[in-house]
Amino acid sequence: MSASRCPTDPTRVGLHSANEVYYWCQQLNCSETRLRNAVLAVGPLVADVRAYLAR
């Protein structure tokens, strides 16, 4: 994987970069809308977002 596709902080879901949004959508197997809604609901910590999406 190229450096541009790696998250800046692997413990937080970043929504400010298209590359990070793409990365997290792939990692969490969700749409961008669902990812953004999850971050709005529980914050940017990956563990929290992952748990929210699993519901």
pLDDT band at residue 8 under the 50/70/90 scheme? confident
DSSP state letter for 17: S
Report pLDDT for 3.
Answer: 46
Q: Which residues of 27-55 are buried (b: 16+ CB within 10 A; e: fewer)?
A: ebebeeeebbebbeebebebebbbebbee
d(CA 29, CA 13): 13
Report pLDDT for 1.
Answer: 46
DSSP state letter for 38: H
Q: CB–CB of 29/43 below 8 Å?
A: no
